[in-house]
Amino acid sequence: MWGRIHALIIKELLAILRDPRGRLVIIVPPILQLFVFSYAATLEVTNVDIAVLNRDSGKWGQELIQRIEGAPSFRRIQRTDEQKKVHELIDRQEVIAAVQIGPDFSRALEAGRAGEVQVILDGRRSNASQIVAGYLNQIIARLAADLATPRQLSAAVTIVPRNWFNPNLTYIWFTVPSLVAIIALLIGLIVTALSVARERELGTFDQLMVSPLRTHEILIGKLTPPMLIGLFHITIYVLTAVFFFEIPLRGSLVLLYGSALFYLASVVGIGLFISSLSMTQQQAILGAFVFMVPAVLLSGFATPIENMPDWLQPVTYVNPLRYFLVVVKGVFLKDIPLSEVLHNTIPLALIALFTLSAAAWLFRSRLE
Amino acid sequence: MSEDFVRIEGVSKAFGSGAPALDQISAAIKGGEITGLVGPDGAGKTTLIRLMTGLLLPDAGTLTVLGFDTRREAARIQAAIGYMPQRFGLYEDLSVQENLDLYADLRGLPQVERAQVFDELLSFTDLKRFTQRLAGKLSGGMKQKLGLACALLKKPRLLLLDEPGVGVDPISRRELWKMVKDLTSEGIGVVWSTAYLDEAEACTSVLLLNQGKLLFTGPPAELTRRVDGRVFKVTGIEGRRRPLLASLLDRPGVLDGVIQGEAIRIVTEPGARQDVLREGEGTKVNPAPPRFEDAFVDLLGGGPGGRSKLAEATQTQADADTHVIEARGLTKRFGDFTAAQDITFDIKRGEIFGLLGPNGAGKSTTFKMLCGLLKPTAGEGRVAGFDLRRDTAEARNRLGYMAQKFSLYGDLSVAQNLDFFAGVYGLKGQHRRDKIKLVTDIFDFARYANQSAKDLPLGHKQRLALACAVMHEPEALFLDEPTSGVDPITRREFWTHINGLVEKGVTILVTTHFMDEAEYCDRISLIFRGKSIALGSPDELKARVASADNPDPTMEDAFIALVEGSEKEAA
């Protein structure tokens, strides 16, 4: 039995890696993706322009503008004195927000009253606008705090935030570990989804089915090579993350790899499942993407699962990415404890068990 | 009528760095007749046709079609010809009428003429009843007729047909041929490309291509004349005819030989005496009319010898007179379509059994049910006593399988393919190395060992497929269209091995749509529209339809007569 599986594994690896183009496809795009996405997939808002309409002639209006100009997130501050111009700038998306300082701003502040500042945001870019609003709020609040008399200050509650695990909230610390999981999903899914579909398209699948290989042997032979490739990718990513992006690796690599085995098994199981459903490679690729896109969206990578509607949240329970994201981020950013790894790996094992059995069942029944 | 419609002068065309697809071809094609473009797959037929359409340009030489140069006046050529590619570009999701409308639009057929042209073409192709049917739901023969109708929309002066006979049952093939023949009487020139050598015989003149070289051009009878008086039929053979064939082939003076039913067909070398064929008391040797294929083999320098080293290295199977393959009422339905109905036969050890029928008739379905790739809706199939749907890997270890077309791993090298199949069939250690060495020597793979299997020439692919199927010495060998499209020499070499293996007790189930190949079988079952309409030895089946008009019918005659008979019975 091992002889047969061995022959099949060697064949699968050769089929993927013997062709120089095949080798290139397996190695180059995933690494490029890691770099491109690491820089691209950021929710931080930088390099945006702001319009300022200052109707105040006092010094505090100037002070506020200088502070806004000094903030690193904004690229250019467009000063204007016309309401109409503000409209135009926002209409043409030249600026994401406009700050209007009221005519008695300085006077009000000096009198100890509240000064008025209006912030107009471009709701078409709602997410970025909200973040910009947050930045502006901070700047204005700081100004207010600096102005406050000691008595007022002692009455105010000051909040001193501290970000655990990622003290500077460096975005890359969040994206790179997540990308390790997502790219492993992408490659694992496509390599396996193509494997059976390609054989079916070329007619070699019948050849396998009439050979003495048993279904579970075909399954093992088909799932081992993509898992090996997946582990290879994960290793490269971890090395890149640690040595190139200088992301801390605080947890245990043993736990990461242990959990990755089940993660890859579940991904490969889904790939094989899609593959056994497809008659052609084109269908397999389409099938892989039909799964990929919701899997990434419903993983908690871009938006927290807790924000999703109640009826949608259970759908994420069958998404292997959801669990492995927790593990991979946990291993990188905090020393994730064994219990939590187990808690997220058991569902992965169950998904793998289910998809692999379904793929095995489909192998035979598709022969009808 | 003697005007040259196409003039080909010193034309060469190469793709990539390999051997040229066409090498220095010079020929002429006339109007008002059918010109056969004959040769095995990969001979350069399609390339030559595409060069004639101006879709491809030659690397060297010139082509003049209807007086226009293909380099400079391709558009004028394309307006004046009809071209039917191998898989005609029918839109399977459109109905027959919609396909015609679409092609009428594409070809710019004026609206006012359409009604009349459609009416003519639909009656000509006998598709009137089916105008609303989706093209994808038509049979192979009807698809080709619709393709032909689309190519004829704007009456062309020259009609180029690329393998119109492939995938078409013999009856439709004859109808198609008759239609095309009628066109030539109107002065249209027809180029009919084919890998079937019997089709070549019916052409007015042929261009015989092999590996990109033009071997012969002229009327087919002129080619067959070269083997006149050298073709013999050996009949009344006592004992087994396959060892006799092997021994005859190795005698000096024998150029070629094949099994033909109970008889052996032999082509001798020029000047060889008929005595070399003398054999035993009852055996008679009679001259036979030469065929195109005999002449083709002669032109290629004769067939291979009769020895099969492969068979010699194979152990003899226990010679029990048992049934190795059994089919009992095998039935397969896909939805409301019955692909195979109540198919029953037994195959004895050491017998070659053929499933003969056109594409889509149900032979592949039957075949797949027997080797466990399809689950029968009813009935059962057994191989070496096992039901391959239920029984284990050990059962499957006893059969060898060679799929239709080439189905090895094209991305793997020859050596890796051999290694993989040896491994999958559980060959181990020294035994495995010995077996791989053996087939490498027999089939001369050493030169190609590191080449990707997909880049091999067709003949070598086929050898590799056979090698992979027999390394584990199976009891039963399943061959699905094993030699379709290969050149006659490779086909003979293949059958030499099969004949040798059969003598060692290997049982063979072969499917073929190739009427001549059916003659190599001990018994055949004619499959048509999912049913076995006749079962018997090739000679029995032919004898069944022999009549005063046709005392010596061909396998194709037999097939057509039996199909017509079974349809009459059903009516």
Mean pLDDT over all residues of chain B? 87
**Backbone phi and psi for residue A121, each to the nearest 5 degrees, phi listed first:** -115, 150
Q: Are B400 and B507 in contact (CB under 8 A)?
A: no
pLDDT, one tens digit per residue, over B292-336 is 999 999 988 888 888 888 888 888 877 666 888 999 999 998 888
Number of domains, chain A: 2
Is A1 among the domain residues? Answer: no
Residue A59 and residue A21 share a domain: no
In Å, what is the CA distance from B567 to each residue of A120, B308, B333, B560, B562? Answer: 84, 42, 21, 11, 9
The C-alpha angle B283, B285, B287, rounded to 5 degrees, equals 160
Question: Any idea which architecture B311-398+477-532 has in CATH?
Answer: 3-Layer(aba) Sandwich (3.40)
- What is the structure's pLDDT at A169? 66
CATH of segment(s) B4-218? 3.40.50.300
Residue in chain A lying closest to B468 (CA): A207
Other CB atoms within 10 A of residue B76 CB: 15
Is A17 among the domain residues? Answer: yes
Residue A307 and residue A234 share a domain: yes
Q: Where in chain B is the domain with CATH 3.30.70?
A: 225-307
Which chain A residues are Cβ-neighbours of B368 within 8 angstroms? 206
Which chain B residues are Cβ-neighbours of A203 within 8 angstroms? 403-405, 407
Interchain pair A367, B375: CB under 8 A: yes
3-state secondary structure of A118: strand
Q: Are A183 and A234 in contact (CB under 8 A)?
A: no
3-state secondary structure of B524: strand
CA distance A47 to chain B (A): 49
Query: How large is the average pLDDT for residues A179-203?
Result: 87
A2, A194, A207, A281, best to mutate vs chain B, most B CBs in 10 Å = A207
CA distance B527 to chain A (A): 21
Residue A94 and residue A31 share a domain: no
Residue A174 and residue A35 share a domain: yes
pLDDT, one tens digit per residue, over B515-527 is 878 889 999 999 8
Closest residue by Cα to residue B474 from A9, A210, A209: A210
Return d(Cα A234, Cα A180) in angstroms, integer: 6
pLDDT of A42 > 70? The answer is: no
Interchain pair B408, A204: CB under 8 A: yes
Beta strands in B144-204 (DSSP E): 158-161, 189-194
3-state secondary structure of A251: coil
Residue A36 and residue A52 share a domain: no
pLDDT band at A113 (very low <50, low <70, confident <90, very high): confident
Residue A119 and residue A23 share a domain: no
CATH of segment(s) B225-307? 3.30.70
Residue A213 and residue A146 share a domain: no
Q: Which domain holds residue A272?
A: 8-41+167-365
- What is the structure's pLDDT at A154? 52
Bridge-based pairing state of the strands B60-65 and B4-13? antiparallel
- What is the structure's pLDDT at B160? 93
pLDDT of A4 > 50? The answer is: yes
- Between B373, B416, B428, which is nearest A3 by CB? B428
Residue A251 and residue A192 share a domain: yes
Interchain pair A367, B373: CB under 8 A: yes
Q: Is the ipTM of this complex over 0.85?
A: no
Token output for B316: 């003899």
> Is the minimum CB–CB distance between A4 and chain B shorter than 8 Å?
yes
Return d(Cα A59, Cα A64) in angstroms, integer: 9
Is the full-model pTM beyond 0.90? no
Is A3 among the domain residues? Answer: no
Is A139 among the domain residues? Answer: yes
- What is the structure's pLDDT at B310? 85
**Backbone phi and psi for residue B470, each to the nearest 5 degrees, phi listed first:** -115, 0
Residue in chain B lying closest to A221 (CA): B424
- What is the structure's pLDDT at A321? 93
**pLDDT cut 90: percent of chain A above it:** 18
Mean pLDDT over all residues of chain A? 85
pLDDT band at A310 (very low <50, low <70, confident <90, very high): confident
pLDDT band at B270 (very low <50, low <70, confident <90, very high): confident
Return the higher-pLDDT residue of B151 and A148: B151
Closest residue by Cα to residue B26 from B10, B38, B13: B10
- What is the structure's pLDDT at A41? 66
- Max avg pLDDT among A198-202, B215-219, B561-565: B215-219
Which chain B residues are Cβ-neighbours of A25 within 8 angstroms? none
Is A160 among the domain residues? Answer: no
Other CB atoms within 10 A of residue A207 CB: 22
Is A161 among the domain residues? Answer: no
Chain B interface with A: residues with Cβ < 8 Å: 368, 371-375, 388, 392-394, 396-397, 399, 401, 403-405, 407-413, 416, 419-426, 428, 452, 478
Residue in chain A lying closest to B407 (CA): A204
- What is the structure's pLDDT at B565? 86
Q: Are B303 and B260 in contact (CB under 8 A)?
A: no
Residue A204 and residue A138 share a domain: no
- What is the structure's pLDDT at B128? 84
Q: Are A34 and A82 in contact (CB under 8 A)?
A: no
Residue A172 and residue A146 share a domain: no
User: Of A121, A155, A189, which closes a domain?
Assistant: A155
- What is the structure's pLDDT at B1? 44
A206, A222, A363, A364, best to mutate vs chain B, most B CBs in 10 Å = A206
Closest residue by Cα to residue B82 from B137, B149, B143, B15: B149
Domain containing residue A66: CATH number = 3.40.1710.10
Other CB atoms within 10 A of residue B120 CB: 13
Residue A289 and residue A177 share a domain: yes
B417, B420, B424, best to mutate vs chain A, most A CBs in 10 Å = B424
Burial annotation B334-358 (CB, 10 A radius, 16+ → b, else e): eeeebbbbebebebebbbbbbbbbb
